[in-house]
Amino acid sequence: MKRMIAFLSALPVIFAACFFGGCEKKVSYRSYSFFSMDTLITVKIDPSFPDCDTVFEKCREITEEVRLLYDADDPDSLLSRFNRGESDGSGLALLSLSETVSEATGGAFFPGLRDVIEGWREAEKSGVLPQKKEGARVPYKAGMRNADLGGIAKGEAEQRVVEYLKDSGVGYGVISFGGNIAVFGTKPDGKPFSVGIRDPYDTSGVICTVSLDSGYVSVSGGYERYYEIDGERYHHIIDPATYFPAEGGLDSVAVITKDADNAGALGDALATAFFVAGESAARELYASGTFDFEAVFISGGEVRSTPGTVAATD
Ligand code: AMP
Ligand code: MG
């Protein structure tokens, strides 16, 4: 993990959270985009692969399979059936990973906020702010209903797509799932991929880059999605202690996972958790060695990284 990220400046960049095609000048890709899981998904692969179109179609099918498991907005998803008590949750593997991450982050990652999220949506319509809660964070337990896996399911889908592409013999690729980017394989130029972290202060640009030969960069930021109530914006990452938008002190956070089990889903969940819990809690978890990850913290215009990471700023 320590080797994978190095200082890079002024290199062509793949934008996390905002994917612009054709960034790496000497390396060509075949690219395919579609909309699913409430986000734009772009799959870019080695153009010399013999049947790109079939592979692209399969990527869309895999994503749809994951959505049908975990989309709490779709009444037909397995998660919605679980929430209604019509399923015991078997087949929903992310519930157990969510429990692990929730436990490790002291409940900062808490995927049991379905009714709170619905409350914020209602508030958008009525113009009346939801009630603030006073209390402590408690970890999520896998059997709890009222689940919303929006903070982890994209990473899972992304990981399944990457695994499928690798198994199919695709030489290299870049997959963008909204705020999450995955890269794999060896490019013809032999260089690592350069993944840009979107600038939370100017979302049309990049604030820093990380160099990665393969793995996942999951970004959570308050700028990504929000509820608008009475002209004010309230971002979508909720502190389970207050049921209000998290104020963990970060403007955005990127988590880099590579060798961990469930690296895609884990990185996605940790990014959401760190946005809630803040940098020092994230660094404590890093030091504990519970999970294999690196992270880039952005606040007050500054970029800081965990020791095995160097995020390059121009
Ligand atoms: P992300 O964009 O990956 O950070 O995930 C944000 C999404 O996760 C939100 O849109 C909600 O669906 C859900 N969510 C919000 N707050 C939390 C939280 N504290 N823990 C877990 N999931 C959350
Ligand atoms: Mg997440």
Distance, CA of 150 to CA of 67 (rounded, Å)? 10
Task: Look at residues 264, 259, 48 and name the one whose alpha carbon lies nearest to residue 170.
Answer: 48
Pick from 102, 148, 197, 252 the residue to mutate for probing ligand 1's pocket: most ligand atoms within 8 Å of its CB.
148
Distance, CA of 279 to CA of 302 (rounded, Å)? 12
List, for residues 201-258, the tens digit of each pLDDT value. Answer: 999 999 999 999 999 999 999 888 899 999 999 999 999 999 999 999 999 999 999 9
Is residue 11 over pLDDT 80?
A: no
Q: DSSP label at 252?
A: E
Q: Which amino acid is at 89?
A: G
Residues in Cβ contact with 192 at an 8 Å cutoff, skipping those fewer than 6 apart? 4, 6, 211, 212, 213
Helical (H) or strand (E) element with 23: none
* For the chain, domain boundaries: 4-305
Torsional class of 127: left (φ above 0), alpha (ψ -120 to 50), beta (otherwise): left
Is residue 83 over pLDDT 70?
A: yes
Token pair 């202690």 is at which residue? 241
The alpha carbon of 271 and the centre of ligand 1 are apart by a number of angstroms equal to 9
Q: Order across the sheet with 193-198: list the strands.
A: 14-15, 193-198, 206-212
CATH class of 4-305: alpha beta
CA angle 194, 97, 286 (to 5 degrees): 55
Q: Is the CB of 117 within 6 Å of ligand 1?
A: yes
CA angle 249, 113, 233 (to 5 degrees): 50
- pTM beyond 0.85: the answer is yes
Q: DSSP label at 192?
A: P
Q: Which atom of ligand 1 is least distant from the CA of 150? A: 12
Task: Look at residues 240, 224, 233 and name the one whose alpha carbon lies nearest to residue 123.
Answer: 233
Q: Which two tokens stand for residue 22?
A: 């054709």
| pLDDT in the model for residue 3 | 31
Provide the 3-class DSSP secondary structure of residue 217. strand
Q: Please, what is the average pLDDT of the chain?
A: 91
The alpha carbon of 153 and the centre of ligand 2 are apart by a number of angstroms equal to 8
The residue whose CA is least distant from atom 23 of ligand 1 is: 151
243 contacts 136 by C-beta, under 8 angstroms = no
Distance, CA of 159 to CA of 242 (rounded, Å)? 32
Helical (H) or strand (E) element with 236: none
Residues in Cβ contact with 90 at an 8 Å cutoff, skipping those fewer than 6 apart? none
| Strand 206-212, strand 215-221: pairing | unpaired
| pLDDT in the model for residue 199 | 95
Which residue did the predictor score with more confidence, 88 or 15? Answer: 88
Q: Which amino acid is at 292?
A: D
Backbone angles phi, psi at 266, to 5 degrees: -60, -45
Pick from 103, 272, 274 the residue to mutate for probing ligand 1's pocket: most ligand atoms within 8 Å of its CB.
272
Q: Is the CB of 110 within 6 Å of ligand 1?
A: yes
| pLDDT in the model for residue 261 | 84
Q: List the alpha helices (DSSP H) in 31-104.
A: 52-70, 78-83, 93-104
**pLDDT band (50, 70, 90) for residue 14:** low
79 contacts 178 by C-beta, under 8 angstroms = no
Q: Is the CB of 276 within 6 Å of ligand 1?
A: yes
Distance, CA of 171 to CA of 157 (rounded, Å)? 20
Mean pLDDT of 104-127: 97
Q: Which two tokens stand for residue 26?
A: 């000497």
